[in-house]
């Protein structure tokens, strides 16, 4: 595995991981009042476009981590709908 691939995997891991504390906080407090729905819609759409870009290029780090990020951003939006 070369350094560029490792860099992409690490970057994607930490970017995707950044959604987890927000999900945990919403779930724990049962409140998503302070979460911006418009911002997370924009983030989810941007992540979707990155996912498509990764698929077009055939770049697995981009595909894997943006698919995970899309699920996590979608989870935040679903929690916003449920607890918002």
Q: How confident is the prediction for the chain on average, in pLDDT?
A: 94
Asked if the model's pLDDT at residue 1 lies above 90, the reply is: no
Quote the tokens at residue 28.
């724990």
Q: What pLDDT does residue 16 have?
A: 95
Asked if the model's pLDDT at residue 84 lies above 90, the reply is: no
The number of folded domains in the chain is: 1
Quote the tokens at residue 44.
């989810």
Q: How far apart are CA 43 and CA 48, in angstroms?
A: 8
Q: What pLDDT does residue 59 have?
A: 92
pLDDT digits (tens, 9 = 90+) for 34-61: 999 999 999 999 999 999 999 999 999 9
For residue 7, the Cα-to-chain-centroid distance in whole angstroms is 18
Which CATH number does the domain housing residue 16 bear? 1.20.1280.290
Overall average pLDDT of the 66-77 stretch: 97
Structural domain that includes position 67: 3-83
């Amino acid at each position: 595995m070369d350094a560029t691939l490792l860099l992409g995997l690490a970057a994607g891991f930490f970017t995707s991981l950044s959604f987890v504390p927000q999900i945990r906080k919403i779930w724990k407090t049962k409140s998503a009042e302070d979460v911006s729905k418009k911002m997370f819609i924009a983030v989810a759409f941007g992540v979707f476009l990155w996912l498509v870009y990764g698929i077009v290029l055939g770049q697995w780090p981009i595909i894997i981590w943006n698919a995970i990020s899309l699920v996590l951003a979608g989870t935040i939006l679903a929690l916003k709908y449920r607890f918002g």
